[in-house]
Amino acid sequence: MTLPPAPAGVEACLRRTFPEVPDRDLTTREVTRMLGDAILLDKAKTACGLLAVQWVERVRRDFAR
């Protein structure tokens, strides 16, 4: 039995990590940018995580015995 491929881009999306935070005093602008990036990354990971969950549910539904 061959399972369908996982949705395109899900693995890469879930593997994305937040960049290292520099070990120095940060400007307000840098902190604001980092927080914005973190929010966007969180939303992207939530969306691709939901795609992965939906894929697993379809596989279970279609291939369960």
Q: Supply the pLDDT for residue 10.
A: 94
CA gap 57, 65 in Å, rounded: 14
Report if pTM > 0.75: yes
Maximum pairwise Cα distance, the chain: 57
Cα distances (angstroms) measured from residue 52 to each of 9, 25, 41, 45, 48: 10, 38, 16, 10, 6
Q: Supply the pLDDT for residue 1.
A: 79
Q: Supply the pLDDT for residue 19.
A: 87
User: Which regions in the chain score pLDDT beneath 70?
Assistant: none
At position 15, the amino acid (one-letter code) is R
